[in-house]
Amino acid sequence: MISKDTIAAIATSIGQSGVSIIRISGEGAFNVAERLFRSKNKSFLDLSKNSITHGFIIDPKTNKEIDEVLISKMVSPNTYTGEDTVEINCHGGIGVTKEILNVVINNGCRLAEGGEFTKRAFLNGKIDLVQAEAISDIITARTKEFKQTALDSLKGKLSEKIGDIKEDIINLLSHLEVTIQYPEYDIEDLTDEEIKEILVTIKEKLKKLISTFDKGEILKDGVNIAIVGKPNVGKSQLLNQLLGSEKAIVTDEAGTTRDVVDEMINIGGIPVKLSDTAGIRDTSSKVERIGIEKSKSIMKSAKVILFVVDSSQKLDKDDIEIFENIDKDKKIIAVLNKTDLKLNEETEVFFNEIKDIEVIKISALNGENIEKIYKKIYNIISNSENNELNDVLVSNERHKNLLNNAYESVENALGNLDMGFEVDLVSIDINNALESLGEITGENTSDQVIEDIFKNFCVGK
């Protein structure tokens, strides 16, 4: 929808880039920046037109500094969208960028819809008709794409959970409304206490759902999988095989992969972040030391650990030490590499005797059995019972915002009940909560309450 409100979004692609840009556009853009930006001498509003200034983004609630940034002030109409625009160049990384975006949104913006900056640019006459055709396509394409992902997430538990909360709200509303529409029928009015009780349950459910958002973020950034093993057992080769391309440096010399190499792959629709750790080995080399520290922390955050050994060799002290360092609560796949060479029986027996560990024999050199690893990873992350992935429901910023709106509406309703306001006011907030949830699933909720009244109550002449 075209409106005068101020919108914001992360303008750069999300990833491990060095710098991220958050763009704010609209009438209130400068006021938003004024609230968040601190620099040595000047307030944001005093900055000159079309300037770039160094300073800090703070959270005005806590006065806490979030990041050191460069901020651009671009005055309407000479901007991309044609509106007053602010761009915050912050340090890359998802954490910081998201945090800044959150603060921006909490201070007078809403999250931009896909393609909205471009749409505004067009509507403000900044781009021409030919481009407009393209945009129109993009918007529909985006919608299709969005629908696809929306469908994916809605197929799962999110829609179930939201549907569940919606049903609670609809039931409550239809009970409230039926006594309004049919005041003389023998339908018991809900007492304020009963309404409160129902609202508190709804509130708790919303809260729980919202709290999954951070986990959802992890999902969006990928399920972590660490590839560990002592140097030169073929970790990088395995990574390359899993990626289907050669990214990590592969040499025969032990300890070549000093930095952690992160790669995203898609396994059955689930984004997976593969981290090839530097060979974990006691070392005095400083560079390697850092790499190893990192490896350990990566193992901690990993969901699945691929423990790679050279199956042609007898396991040595290094292998055992690394294996002992792996947290046994993690899902572990023992990857017995180098099946192209002669198998060491002792090594095989060692793994066969350990319970709760998957063993896959591969050859990273010629690609043998690589697909077994894919399958195993997929099974682990999609099926395991107490998998946090199953709790991950809210992975979309827009959904989170709408859930927050619903939560606030329920709180308002509770507040008004406490103050002794009557049903006509209280029902407005409850209705707003329902509408917010409806927006997530793209449904029009306006007729649902009436439907429910006739389904569940016996009224009428």
Partner 1 sequence: MEFNAGEYDVIVIGAGHAGCEAALASARKGCKTLLLTLNLDALAMMPCNPSIGGTGKGHLVREIDALGGEMGKVIDKTFLQSKTLNTAKGVAVQSLRAQADKKKYQQVMKYVIENTDNLDLKQQEAVKLLVEDGKIKGVVTHTHAVYDAKAVIICSGTYLKGKIIIGDVSYSGGPNGIFPANKLSESLKELGFELLRLKTGTPARVNKRSIDFSKVEIQYGDKEVTPFSFENETLEFDEQPCYLAYTNEKTHEVIRANLHRSPLFSGDIEGTGPRYCPSIEDKIVRFSDKERHQLFIEPEGLGTNEMYLQGMSSSLPEDVQLAFLRTIEGLENVEIMRVAYAIEYDAIEPTQIKHSLETKLVRGLFTAGQINGTSGYEEAAAQGIVAGINAANYVNKKAPLILNRTNSYIGVLIDDITIKGTSEPYRMFTSRVEYRLMLRQDNADLRLTPIGYEEGLISEERYLALKSYEKRVEDEKERLKSVKIKPNKENNKMLEELNTTPLKKTISVYELLKRPKIDYNDTACFDKDRPVLKRREYEQVQTQIKYEDYILKQKQAVKKFKAMEEKELPSDINYDLIKNLRLEARQKLNKIRPANIGQASRISGVSPSDINVLLIELVKMKE
The two three-digit tokens of residue 166, written as one number: 């919606």
Nearer residue to partner 1 within complex by CB, 132 or 315: 132
C-alpha torsion angle, residues 378, 381, 383, 389 (rounded to 10): -140
CA distances from 108 to 25, 197, 438 (A): 11, 32, 23
Nearer residue to partner 1 within complex by CB, 301 or 454: 454
Nearer residue to partner 1 within complex by CB, 264 or 454: 454
Closest CA to 304 of 392, 384, 393, 216: 384
What's the closest the beta carbon of residue 122 comes to partner 1, in angstroms? Answer: 7
What's the closest the beta carbon of residue 134 comes to partner 1, in angstroms? Answer: 11
The secondary structure element, H or E, covering residue 416 is helix 397-419
Number of continuous H segments (helices) and E segments (strands) in the chain: 16, 13
Nearer residue to partner 1 within complex by CB, 77 or 271: 77
Long-range CB pairs of 311-314 (<8 Å, 24+ gap) are: 311/336, 311/337, 311/338, 311/339, 311/341, 311/343, 311/344, 311/347, 311/348, 311/361, 312/338, 312/341, 312/342, 312/343, 312/344, 313/344, 313/347, 314/344, 314/346, 314/347
Non-local (6+) Cβ contacts of 300 within 8 A are 327
Q: Are 111 and 398 in contact (CB under 8 A)?
A: yes
The dihedral region occupied by 230, where left means phi > 0, alpha psi between -120 and 50, and beta the remainder, is beta
- Which residue type sits at 373? I
What's the closest the beta carbon of residue 123 comes to partner 1, in angstroms? Answer: 6
- Which residue type sits at 423? V
Separation CA 166–CA 415 (nearest Å): 20
Instruction: Give the neighbor-by-neighbor strand order of the sheet with 304-310.
Output: 261-267, 270-276, 223-228, 304-310, 331-337, 358-361
CA angle, residues 309, 315, 318, in degrees to nearest 5? 80
CB-count burial class (<10 Å; 0-12, 13-18, 19+) for 310: buried
Nearer residue to partner 1 within complex by CB, 299 or 423: 423
What's the closest the beta carbon of residue 216 comes to partner 1, in angstroms? Answer: 23
Query: Cis peptide before 231, with omega less than 30 degrees from 0?
Result: no
Q: Are 192 and 240 in contact (CB under 8 A)?
A: no
What's the closest the beta carbon of residue 163 comes to partner 1, in angstroms? Answer: 19
Nearer residue to partner 1 within complex by CB, 297 or 446: 446
What's the closest the beta carbon of residue 113 comes to partner 1, in angstroms? Answer: 8
Closest CA to 249 of 284, 285, 291, 278: 278
What's the closest the beta carbon of residue 439 comes to partner 1, in angstroms? Answer: 9
Nearer residue to partner 1 within complex by CB, 154 or 292: 154
Nearer residue to partner 1 within complex by CB, 173 or 322: 173
What's the closest the beta carbon of residue 367 comes to partner 1, in angstroms? Answer: 43
Nearer residue to partner 1 within complex by CB, 81 or 339: 81
Closest CA to 61 of 103, 99, 30: 103
Nearer residue to partner 1 within complex by CB, 188 or 356: 188
What's the closest the beta carbon of residue 406 comes to partner 1, in angstroms? Answer: 16
Residues that bind partner 1 (CB under 8 A): 1-3, 119, 122-123, 129, 132, 135-137, 139-140, 143, 173, 177, 179-186, 419-425, 428, 442, 444, 446, 449-450, 454, 458-461
Nearer residue to partner 1 within complex by CB, 59 or 113: 113
What's the closest the beta carbon of residue 162 comes to partner 1, in angstroms? Answer: 17
What's the closest the beta carbon of residue 321 comes to partner 1, in angstroms? Answer: 56
What's the closest the beta carbon of residue 419 comes to partner 1, in angstroms? Answer: 6
- Our measurement of the distance from residue 131's CA atom to the centroid of its chain's CA atoms, rounded to an integer in Å, reads 31
Separation CA 12–CA 20 (nearest Å): 6
Nearer residue to partner 1 within complex by CB, 70 or 187: 187
The two three-digit tokens of residue 240, written as one number: 């390359």
